[in-house]
Structure 1
């Protein structure tokens, strides 16, 4: 496929410290604190770049209050870890989560623009309006923002960050030593923002980045979250178990983007897939069974209960999932997108609670099998219009990344579904989303 745009975007998500699966830290070889080692992140970055993955996606959990001491979580500072990975790579994209609820726009804009400069234009910011109420206890306490307040703050936050990233126009850096002109004052602008949540003068203290601005990822799946993504996001990371739900989600996002005057092709939808790979189906299933067994049913049951908003004691393992007991989404304090996807999977397939625990992949569509079986699934979803590519939820680190590169990537290439090499220097170019452009303030028909 050299010389052509890749038909499938593939990124890999690094979640929960040592892998997406809750039992990863016990099932894997290696020390329980490997997620605190720079060596692991360097190995992952080099391996993923050797496989020509489009990007690595690093989640960030700002506190361990939700998981306690039960397992490691991805609580290291995102920007620092991305910098470590940037230093040992040249082409792969590096995307990190940072909250709009517990950061300030100026600091975040400066931090991610710094990374984008130092990496040569390979950085993305995954914007998240943090819903976990325990995080507020680490930031002075008080009352957590409700759903609408979180998204109102996030809208203003993203708008300020974009304006800061654009506060130096193209060509502002002159660098004329003879004339003693470093930068053109006329092309550097204060933003003088005064809003409901923030007051920011600007500008940033350095020129815009090699790709114009970092790529914006976003993962909100509620109606409010979708509208924000349609307005601002370049890439949408989503959880969709059921194929028709995934098709409907992508169509809805493209329609919403068009309502904001955007080219629908400028927004890429990359649903998560939880992978457990093996050279044979038996090998893959044995790996999955080992991961499930070491962690145990109890913790997995508690995790499912939290994902859907039900008490643990109403979840009978060998009874049908009790969807009729669920309260309305409007009263749910967790991720509405995860909840809807999991519940739709349970209802559509008539699963028992035990079956749902085994199949819901921690929140994402799960595939357990050979590279051929995984490629079949990915191809089906691509051809159905359910995705522009995928975010691979790696079960166990670092072995899961090595399996993707050694087994899945060759299979995708053999089918003509994946590129042979990087064709662009920046993440924006690699993802095929075009140059950065201003986002309209209002939508014509956004819902």
Structure 2
């Protein structure tokens, strides 16, 4: 089983900052250093930080709800945060979100190659195409481009990035002080890329990363997103309201990966799991209910509107959620629809639920949670879990103190880092050979 930690570089969730045990140091390096040490002591594979390039304006076309309730803001730049976390650990993988919509491939490739070298191969990149119009409006656009256009840009972005990482061979550097020869120029090449979105000469100014490519993470849920993730991603982060939908997603991604000529075992699928640990189910439910009581309707709707990129104030809050054709994060929207239809919820009730939702039904004693995780693994729904915390650092400390030892007693999780030196080693992923981009790029790979 693989375990990763999902946490904001800012307030946790919608009301995680209100939790009585929540730390309030999210603007300090010490806050992230403490969490990193907790996760490494528990032998987690990695920590992963989401991001967005705007203060949300989805609810009522105003940033006031996001600021008032702390939903989706503030967000620190994840790269300095994960660098801080890497500096106090030696084994924990560190992954940051960077958008292909509002970055340039050369900058991203250089940043991540540098981080991978400085951490001895522990860097990861969560690839997103952005999902809020507010992000577009910070970069000279009125609205996000259509989904198909965003994925076309992302395809080219990944091709350019991986070609830049491959622009150096693994044995360029000689550093022969006697002869004065530093490196082999014949082992470095320009990429001379000219495409629809980017023109990049190369080569990169940083040698090839220790992992070949930093670990690539993706969370595509739409058909286009699933194809993109199945070709490019090493780790796929997903979110499900039921075990059945998780099994369907797992099987679909593995099949898509195989159809593109990839070994499905080289794609790790980690569903979100919001873990609430108690002495028993009753105690854990009491903790969850106390947390849910902190959520106001507006705070929950602010978070949901941020994720689906739809102004929910234009709908009757006492009526059902209408069908939405165009949404931001399709995976979250499908979750909402599945749960709301089953429970017959109004828009207001959806807001309150969404503000404190716990994904994966991981509420109970350490033994109960381990049972659920084992079931998901056994029934083909997961290769591990992306642990989401109701509050930090306390929720991660509960998992490390209670759940991880139970998983270790069952032989489901490591007791020490013995698999190798890099994040790829920890995840059981092969190191890409130079030129691997040709096996993943849409311009080369065609689905049968």
TM-score for both structures, normalised by structure 1: 0.90
CA gap 1:415/1:408 in 2 versus in 1, 3 angstroms? same
Question: The residue matched to 1:295 in structure 2 has which SS?
Answer: coil
1:24 counterpart (4, 11, 16): 16
- Distance in 2, matches of 1:344 and 1:252, equals 18
In the alignment, what sits opposite 1:219? Answer: 219
Which residue does 1:410 correspond to in 2? Answer: 405
CA contact 1:98–1:125 (8 Å) conserved in 2: yes
Give the paired residue count. 428
Matched, 1:425 2:421: yes
**CA-to-aligned-CA distance 1:36-61 (integer Å, 9 cap, x gap):** 11011000001100000111111123
SS for the counterpart of 2:236 is strand
Moved more, 337-346 or 419-428: 337-346
SS in structure 2 of the partner of residue 68 of structure 1: helix
Give 1:327's match in structure 2, choosing from 324, 327, 335: 324
Contact 1:59 1:96 in 2 (8 A): yes
Sort the Cα spacing of 1:143 and 1:297 in 2 relative to 1 into closer, same or farther, 3 A: closer
Shift of 1:408: 0.8
How far, CA to CA, are the matches of 1:305 and 1:105 in structure 2? 30
The Cα offsets for residues 250-281 of structure 1, whole Å up to 9 and x where unpaired, read as 11111111122111111111111122222333
> Which whole-Å CA distance do the structure 2 matches of 1:39 and 1:284 have between them?
29
**Structure 2 match to 1:5:** none
Per the alignment, residue 285 of structure 1 pairs with: 285
Q: Is the 8 A contact 1:54 1:92 kept in 2?
A: yes
Quote the Cα distance in structure 2 between the aligned partners of 1:260 and 1:430: 24
Deviation for aligned residue 1:161: 0.6
Is residue 2:70 matched to residue 1:71? yes
Residues 112, 305 of structure 1: alpha-carbon distance in 2 compared, 3 angstrom cutoff: closer
Q: Provide, for residues 393-418 of structure 1, a one-character-per-residue CA deviation record: whole Å limited to 9, x for no partner.
A: 11101111111100110111111111
Local SS of the residue matching 2:164: helix
Q: Report what 2:257 is aligned to.
A: 257
The equivalent of 1:44 in structure 2 is: 35
Q: Tell me the distance in 2 between the aligned counterparts of 1:31 and 1:311.
A: 31
Shift of 1:31: 6.2
1:298-309 aligned at under 5 Å gives the runs 298-304=298-304, 307=307, 309=310
Indicate the SS of the match to 1:17: coil
Mapped contact 1:371–1:407 kept (Cα < 8 A)? yes
- For 2:424, what is the secondary structure of its paired residue? helix
Residues 355, 100 of structure 1: alpha-carbon distance in 2 compared, 3 angstrom cutoff: closer
Change (3 A) 1:135 1:100: same
Distance 2:290 2:32 in 1: 24
Secondary structure of the equivalent of 2:26?
helix
Is the Cα contact below 8 Å between 2:4 and 2:47 reproduced in 1? yes
Counterparts of 1:359-378 in structure 2, within 5 Å, are 362=357, 364-378=359-373
Give the C-alpha shift of residue 363 in structure 1: 7.9
Answering whether residue 316 of structure 2 is matched by residue 314 of structure 1, we say yes
2:44 alignment partner in structure 1? 53
Equivalent residue number for residue 115 of structure 1: 115
1:360 positional shift: 8.3
**CA distance in structure 1 between the partners assigned to 2:251 and 2:298 by the alignment:** 38
**Could you tell me whether the CA contact under 8 Å between 1:359 and 1:366 is conserved in 2?**
no
Deviation at 1:364, TM superposition (A): 3.6
* TM-superposed deviation, 1:18: 3.0
- What is aligned with 1:434? 430
Other-structure match for 2:104: 104
1:70 CA drift (Å) = 2.1
Query: Hey, what does 1:343 align to over in structure 2?
Result: 337
* Gaps in structure 1 of 5+ consecutive residues: 1-7
Report the secondary structure of 1:35's partner residue.
coil
1:286 CA displacement: 2.7
Deviations 1:264-322 (A, max 9, x none): 11111111112222233333223222222223233224434565657344343xx7xx3
Gaps of 5+ in 2: 58-65
Q: Do the aligned partners of 1:274 and 1:361 also contact (CA within 8 Å) in 2? A: no
Within a 5 Å distance, the mapping from 1:90-101 to structure 2 comes to: 90-101=90-101
Moved more, 76-85 or 303-312: 303-312
2:162 corresponds to which residue?
162
Tell me if structure 2 keeps the 8 A contact 1:259–1:443. Answer: no
Aligned match of 1:382 in 373, 377, 396? 377
1:109-154 deviation per Cα after TM superposition (whole angstroms, max 9, x unaligned): 1011111111110010000000111012222344421111111111
Give me the whole-angstrom Cα distance separating, in 2, the residues matched to 1:29 and 1:111. Answer: 35
Looking at structure 1, the residues matched to 9 and 177 of structure 2 have their Cα atoms a distance apart, in angstroms, of 49
